[in-house]
Amino acid sequence: AFPQAAAPADAAAWYVGDSAAAASRGASGIASPPKQQPPLGNLLPPCSDVLNGQWAAQDLEQGQSREQPWRQHAAPMHQQYIAPQLAVWQSIEHQRQQLHQHGQMLQQELVLQEALMQQQLQHQEQLLHLQLQQREQQLQLQLQIHIRQQQQRQQAPPQPVTEVVMVDQHGQPLILRQLFAESGVTQTIVWNDDGSHWAFGERTVTSLLDNNVDQTNAWVASLSDRQLHGLVHELARRFVEGSQRRKQRQADDETQRVSSSYDFFGLREEATDKELDNAYRRLARAMHPDKNGGTDEAKEAFQAMKERYELLKEHRAGGLGRGGPGGEGDGRADGESEASGQAQQQQQQPTCISYDPSDRQSLHQAASEFVRQLHVLQQDASCMHQQAGKGGA
């Protein structure tokens, strides 16, 4: 469109002069004098020719375009001034497009990563939900099994712990002992040849202890060999259990008397031997019968204090106290000690009762001895309970 309108001469001169000045600066930045530029009229066709449409016709007739002089001068100007600016602009535009494309790629990558993270989180959430459901189902199943087992235990009778004592040639039990853990009941069952069975338990042993020796021997003699074997086994087990209980009662009684003796002297169990001796001397001077009228009560109190001191000395030395059941210093009255002295002396001695299950005479003797030992254990337990009741009172 530029050749169709004529520009003012001063504007064309300013553009040419300004471009020439910019080109003359060079690297130094100082503008050199502008070169002589051809008049603008030589570069542009006359307006009248343009308006009348004669310019193109004359070019065709003359075979040479009249705009050639203008193009000859405009091409160097374009290459010198405008082309570098265009190259810079094109480079900037190319970089802008690259940055824009890179930004779009980054944005797409962020969107993909966000979508991937959401998928992973949803997957993990689903896994956790499934695990929680499985765990809940397992707990519910365990609870149902536990409830069912509880109901079965409540409905079904408790099964005893069975100890087989004797079997026949086919391995079938002939004599066995049962222990009901919940009630503590024990009994020995004997199967007879006719299929019936006898049970020797608490009532059998109580009856033997309450009857006299002649009645016991007569009843024992009426039993068969297998029944006598079962009876002796039950008596032997009860004797062992009673001996263990008596030993535990002795240990408990020993511990209680030691503790009360420390309290009597006003000491703790961590006290030294010197502190114990000093406490004994202090009480010995205060409780001496000569300083308390010499009465029988004063002598008994002084003797009881001395026995407590000896008990603590023996206990601290690592031995059993002299005040064991039936011994000196147990705090019992003379009548009680005399009543159970013989039985407890026999119990303090180690007891070993052996028998031959195939010999009826050996079984009969063992039954009599076990009954006698059970009598001793019963008397000893009764005495210890009475003493414990008096001590508590």
387 confidence band (pLDDT: 50, 70, 90): low
Q: Please tell me the distance from the alpha carbon of residue 314 to that of residue 312, in angstroms, as a whole number.
A: 5
Q: Express each pLDDT in 74-129 by its tens digit.
A: 667 667 777 788 888 889 999 999 999 999 999 999 999 999 999 999 999 999 99
- Is the CA virtual torsion 52, 53, 58, 61 positive or negative? negative
Beta bridge partner(s), residue 189: 176, 199
Please give the pLDDT value at position 326: 37
Q: Please tell me the distance from the alpha carbon of residue 169 to that of residue 52, in angstroms, as a whole number.
A: 148
Q: For the chain, what is the mean pLDDT?
A: 76
CA nearest 367: which of 239, 245, 203? 239
Average pLDDT over residues 363-384: 87
Q: Please tell me the distance from the alpha carbon of residue 375 to that of residue 368, in angstroms, as a whole number.
A: 11
Show me where the domains of the chain are located: 76-156, 162-317+360-383
Residue 159 predicted with pLDDT over 60:
yes
Q: Are 45 and 66 in contact (CB under 8 A)?
A: yes
Please give the helix or strand (H or E) that residue 313 lies within, else none: helix 296-316
Q: Express each pLDDT in 252-276 by its tens digit.
A: 888 888 999 999 999 998 889 999 9
Residue 63 predicted with pLDDT over 60:
no
Percent of the chain at pLDDT > 90 equals: 36
Q: Which residue has the tokens 């992973």?
A: 120
Please give the pLDDT value at position 18: 46
Q: Please tell me the distance from the alpha carbon of residue 32 to that of residue 109, in angstroms, as a whole number.
A: 55
Which three-class secondary structure string do you get for 351-370? Answer: CCCCCCCCCHHHHHHHHHHH
Starting at the earlier edge strand, list the strands of the sheet with 161-167: 161-167, 173-180, 185-191, 197-200
Please give the pLDDT value at position 72: 62
Contacts of 107 (CB under 8 A, 6+ apart): none
Residue 282 predicted with pLDDT over 80:
yes
DSSP string, 21-50: HHHHHTTTTPPPPPPPPPPHHHHS--HHHH
Please give the pLDDT value at position 82: 78
Q: Express each pLDDT in 217-261 by its tens digit.
A: 899 999 999 999 999 999 999 999 889 988 888 888 888 889 999
Please give the pLDDT value at position 342: 45
Residue 172 predicted with pLDDT over 80:
yes
Q: Express each pLDDT in 196-209 by its tens digit.
A: 999 999 999 999 98
Single-letter amino acid, residue 184: G
